[in-house]
Amino acid sequence: MAEFTMELNDEQKEVRDWLHGFAADVIRPAAAEWDEREETPWPVIQEAAKLGIYSLDFYAQQFFDPSGLGIPMTMEELFWGDAGIALSIVGTGLAAVGVLANGTEEQIGTWVPQMYGDANDVKVAAFCSSEPDAGSDVAAMRTRAVYDEAKDEWVLNGTKTWATNGGIANVHVVVAVVDPELGSKGHASFIVPPDTPGLSQGQKFKKHGIRASHTAEVVLEDVRVPGHCLLGGKDKLDERLARARERAKSGGERVKNAAMATFEASRPAVGAMAVGTARAAYEEALEYARTRSQFGRPIIDNQGVAFQLADMRTQIDAARLLVWRASWMATTGKKFESAEGSMSKLYASETAKKVTAQAIQILGGNGFTREYPVERMHRDAAIYTIFEGTSEIQRLVIARTLAGMPIR
């Protein structure tokens, strides 16, 4: 087991500096334009692909970093550049992870490369789970998948919402209900190949922040996919459903806790995104406070401003510590005894909202304009307390864990 450390090794520092250079030289100069356009920044994604940043290989290398710090380090640097563009670059990873976690070797080899394309013809993928009436309450999911045994096809019907890259993706990964009586354990994931009839884009959301990331509804109307598009295969699904039915009869808390452990392990990555945005806003405010003069001296000489910056830096460092601890725990297999994954996501996301608001205050009227990036950063930061589980859900998970209560 790797020892927990806050010191990056030489290889990690090299990757961090490389990512920071890309964020500074490519992402940041494009951020305001694509935020205004509210469109997917294809040229930036293509540049990331040329450099090897937009690829499964790169993210796999970071994921398998034995220290656990590869992914949070990557997320922090990219989202330091710009949250909307960064989410466009990493969003495909949600679908790729869905296939890697549940698919067979053949499915992984077939579909994951199609999610990314190549540097000359980049593609994106979408992971479709949330629904209009099933966000935090995944057991309320209504999208159904029915098996047509005669044709060895699955028929999908329903509407997904808040899907990153939804409708524009080359490959969609769709979570659907196959056994309603089992609640969330009666779900399965399906690949919807390119140009499959019946899948269409619904409403594209005009968002408060992360505008460069495409978010839309995905409508499924009698979408037929071959049997081999069920991730993991039907035999594995049948075995899993049978086990779930048996566990449900004897009390299913063990199943619920195992599912919660999966969410706990993924939440620090979102926390790292929030840390990146918060750090970017803090640095903008610090530089402004050093160079902006009022009453004959830099405003950082005023205690009211200096104390705000001190608090901002302290909160950012504390958030990073929580994120890195949880990431290390997930990688080394240490059990989340106190919902440390949710703790990291909760604190980092709330810190991002607070720090970006303080940055606007320090910049004054300038911070309220689009001429300065902190306004955009503040809008972007709002998403961190919402997706991958709202702050209220994080507090619920933490509280119930501390109380020794089951998490539903």
Q: Active site includes 388? A: yes
Over 90: is that where the pLDDT of 175 sits?
yes
- Considering the chain, what is the average pLDDT of its residues? 92
pLDDT digits (tens, 9 = 90+) for 282-299: 999 999 999 998 899 999
Determine the pLDDT at residue 357. Answer: 98
Mean pLDDT of 27-50: 97
Determine the pLDDT at residue 136. Answer: 63
The pLDDT confidence band at residue 185, using thresholds 50, 70 and 90, is confident
Determine the pLDDT at residue 375. Answer: 98
Work out the percent of the chain whose per-residue pLDDT is above 90: 78
Instruction: Please say whether the beta carbons of 65 and 56 come within 8 A.
Output: no
Over 50: is that where the pLDDT of 213 sits?
yes
- This prediction has a pTM of 0.92
pLDDT digits (tens, 9 = 90+) for 297-332: 999 999 999 999 999 999 999 999 999 999 999 998
Query: Nearest to residue 189, comparing CAs of 232, 155, 136, 226?
Result: 232
The pLDDT confidence band at residue 336, using thresholds 50, 70 and 90, is confident
Quick count: other Cβ atoms within 10 Å of Cβ 297?
A: 9
pLDDT digits (tens, 9 = 90+) for 90-114: 999 989 988 988 899 999 999 999 9
Instruction: Please say whether the beta carbons of 58 and 231 come within 8 A.
Output: no
Over 50: is that where the pLDDT of 353 sits?
yes
Residues making up the chain, counted from first to last:
408
Mean pLDDT of 31-43: 97
Catalytic residue among 106, 246, 388, 392, which?
Answer: 388
Over 60: is that where the pLDDT of 258 sits?
no
Determine the pLDDT at residue 264. Answer: 63
Quick count: other Cβ atoms within 10 Å of Cβ 43?
A: 12
- Report the DSSP pairing between strands 171-177 and 297-298: unpaired
The CA-based diameter of the chain, rounded to the nearest angstrom, is 82
Instruction: Please say whether the beta carbons of 92 and 218 come within 8 A.
Output: no
